[in-house]
């Protein structure tokens, strides 16, 4: 499967409430460099959706997404910096 297909499969699982399966597929897409998946996986980590809650892991993925040019991640990273979280 391509990164986009993995991400979409994860989104489909998330929409059905299957958070663990969603996290698995979204993480696979994130590992392949899919910026939107990295952003989503970061949020999932920060919220504990389908994975063990971890702000540090969430921020790590959020930064990867921002580094890959994903606009919403760039904005979130900037907010985290402005509020002293980073």
Q: Tell me the pLDDT tens digit for each residue of 22-46.
A: 999 999 999 999 999 999 999 999 9
Alpha helices in the chain (DSSP H): 3-15, 19-31, 35-47, 55-67, 71-82
Domain locations in the chain as residue ranges: 3-82
Mean pLDDT in the chain? 96
Q: What percent of the chain has pLDDT over 70?
A: 100
Global pTM value: 0.94
pLDDT, tens digit, for every residue of 61-72?
999 999 999 999
What 3-state DSSP class applies to 16? coil
Q: Which CATH class is domain 3-82?
A: mainly alpha
84 vs 22: which has the higher pLDDT: 22
Mean pLDDT computed over 1-27: 98
């Amino acid at each position: 499967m391509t990164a986009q297909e993995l991400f979409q499969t994860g989104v489909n699982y998330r929409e059905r409430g299957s958070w663990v399966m969603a996290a698995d597929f979204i993480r696979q897409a994130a590992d392949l460099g899919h910026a939107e998946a990295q952003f989503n996986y970061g949020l999932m980590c920060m919220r504990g959706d389908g994975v063990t809650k971890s702000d540090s892991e969430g921020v790590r993925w959020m930064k990867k997404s921002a580094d890959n040019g994903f606009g919403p991640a760039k904005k979130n990273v900037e907010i985290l910096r402005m509020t002293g979280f980073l």
